[in-house]
């Protein structure tokens, strides 16, 4: 499989970038189960953004879990990204059938949570309210608010091509240099979705050097541990409600359809881990 995620660093060493081509791997994702054009568009945007997050994982055992709670209740998205390059994204049935505007899904009571780490080194979660005008902006806002790091997400979907870019200035960057990079990316939209992937770094980012390349895939590599990580992103109060009424939680893999059941004792372990993390 070709390497479809590229890490670049500007020649002034002030800004790092990740670019991804998710076109082929989307064909093996849960995209086929989206019921509306809106849901397909949203799924594709979120999937691309999560593929870009894989660039932050430096060890095989690391992972990132993304949990998005839209409104009203029951409109949720979960994504799991691991250090092997596997990306799995699941929409609730309600969200997969939604056919409105993005503005109808965000606002008070909504949230984007991202958990990052490893089972050996610990998992750390940040949460922000969803109030931006696009899902790309929501991801950008998360890193600005939760990580205090300016991070810009861009996704392009056109004529069957699905690509994205993450731009993250490093400490002590020159704001004029960032503006130069952003203006160049925004004006190169036509080429980003039409240029041959192998030629893209040189043609669109001549001011940057390729640092590394990775494989991102949606081939099924699911496990109960993966969904355990997804439940770590669920609000603690929600888990406690399930424990109180003796309700098991069941999650289905969006790639292979395998179902994983988490009984109340599993949920109790997750709650203890989350509370220990919050108190630590």
Q: Angle at Cα 252 formed by Cα 49 and Cα 120, nearest 5°?
A: 65
Residue 21 has pLDDT above 60, yes or no: yes
Distance set, CA 107 to CA 44, 97, 99, 194, 216 (Å): 21, 20, 17, 35, 32
Tokens of 117: 């780490």
pLDDT digits (tens, 9 = 90+) for 188-226: 988 999 999 999 999 999 999 999 999 999 866 667 777
Ranges of H-type helices in 91-235: 93-96, 135-145, 175-187, 189-192, 200-204, 224-231
Rg (CA), the chain: 19
Condensed to tens digits (0 to 9), the pLDDT of residues 92-119 reads 999 999 999 999 999 999 999 999 887 6
Class of 5-279 per CATH?
alpha beta
- Residue pair 44/31 in contact (Cβ under 8 Å)? The answer is yes
The mean predicted confidence, pLDDT, of the chain is: 90
Residue 279's pLDDT is: 66
Q: Kindly give the pairing relationship between strand 15-21 and strand 161-169.
A: antiparallel
- CA–CA dist 101, 167 (Å, integer): 27
What does the DSSP 8-state code read for residue 198? Answer: G
Domain residue spans in the chain? 5-279
Q: How many CB atoms lie within 10 A of CB 233?
A: 24
Say which residue the tokens 């806002």 belong to. 141
Lowest average pLDDT, out of 12-21, 156-165, 265-274, goes to 265-274
pLDDT higher for 261 or 7?
Answer: 7
What DSSP element (H or E) covers 21? strand 15-21
Question: Could you tell me the pTM of the whole model?
Answer: 0.81
CB contact set of 190 (below 8 Å; sequence gap of 6+): none
Residue 255, pLDDT > 60, answer: no
Structure tokens at 10: 């500007």
Q: What is the secondary structure of 38-86 as a DSSP string?
A: HHHHHHHHHHHHHHHHGGG--STT-EEEEEEE-SSTT-EEEEEEETTSB
């Amino acid at each position: 499989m070709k390497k479809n995620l590229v890490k670049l660093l500007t020649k002034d060493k002030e800004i790092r970038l990740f670019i991804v081509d998710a076109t082929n791997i989307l064909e093996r994702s849960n995209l086929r189960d989206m019921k509306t054009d809106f849901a397909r568009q949203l799924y594709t945007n979120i999937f691309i953004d999560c593929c870009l997050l894989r660039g932050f994982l430096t060890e095989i055992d690391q992972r990132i879990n993304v949990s998005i709670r839209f409104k009203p209740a029951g409109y949720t998205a979960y994504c799991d990204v691991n250090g092997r390059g596997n990306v799995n994204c699941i929409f609730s049935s309600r969200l997969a059938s939604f056919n409105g505007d993005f503005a109808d899904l965000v606002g008070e009571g909504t949230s984007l949570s991202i958990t990052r780490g490893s089972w050996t080194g610990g998992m750390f979660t940040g949460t922000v309210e969803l109030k931006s005008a696009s899902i790309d902006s929501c991801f950008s806002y998360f890193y600005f608010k939760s990580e205090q790091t300016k991070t810009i997400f861009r996704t392009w979907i056109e004529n069957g091509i699905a690509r994205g870019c993450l731009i993250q200035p490093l400490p002590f960057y020159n704001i004029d240099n960032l503006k130069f990079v952003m203006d160049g990316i925004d004006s190169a939209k036509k080429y980003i979705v039409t240029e041959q992937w192998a030629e893209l770094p040189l043609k669109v980012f001549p001011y940057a050097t390729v640092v590394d390349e990775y494989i991102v895939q949606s081939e099924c590599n699911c496990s109960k541990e993966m969904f355990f990580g997804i439940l770590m992103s669920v609000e603690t109060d929600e888990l406690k409600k399930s424990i109180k009424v003796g309700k098991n939680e069941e999650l289905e893999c969006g790639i292979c359809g395998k179902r994983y059941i988490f009984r109340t004792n599993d949920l109790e372990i997750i709650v203890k881990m989350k509370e220990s993390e919050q108190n630590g």
